[in-house]
Amino acid sequence: MLTASETAALRNLAEKKAGTLTAFVNIADARRLTELGLAQRSQQGWDITPEGAAYLASLGPEEGHTGLRLATLPKPQVSITENTADEEMSKDPAADADD
């Protein structure tokens, strides 16, 4: 059985895997989850394992959940427009003086 803090860390890792921006995981909790096979170390910190996901599924949706969620980031909308101010600034000021 996991502590409330370990369960919260495991839920945090599940949300991270789902693409949600999450808070940092307590290192001691993450190490304990790794020892139990519920998480694994990765280049990005820790990741939930299939066993960890199965454990969370067995708990149900709310047990041990802290409710902490920082943000779910939408895909950015990119719009490229011409900047005419750059064109005007690149003109030779001396050429305008003759007008």
Which residues, listed in sequence order, are joined to residue 41 by a DSSP beta bridge?
Answer: 46
Contact present, 33 and 10 (Cβ < 8 Å) = yes
Whether the pTM exceeds 0.75: the reply is no
pLDDT > 90 fraction of the chain, expressed in percent and rounded? 28
Which tokens go with 3?
A: 């502590």
- Segment 64-73 mean pLDDT: 48
Residues 16-44 as b/e (b if ≥16 CB within 10 A, e otherwise) read: beeeeebeebeeebbebbbeeebbeeeee
pLDDT tier at 79, thresholds 50, 70, 90:
low
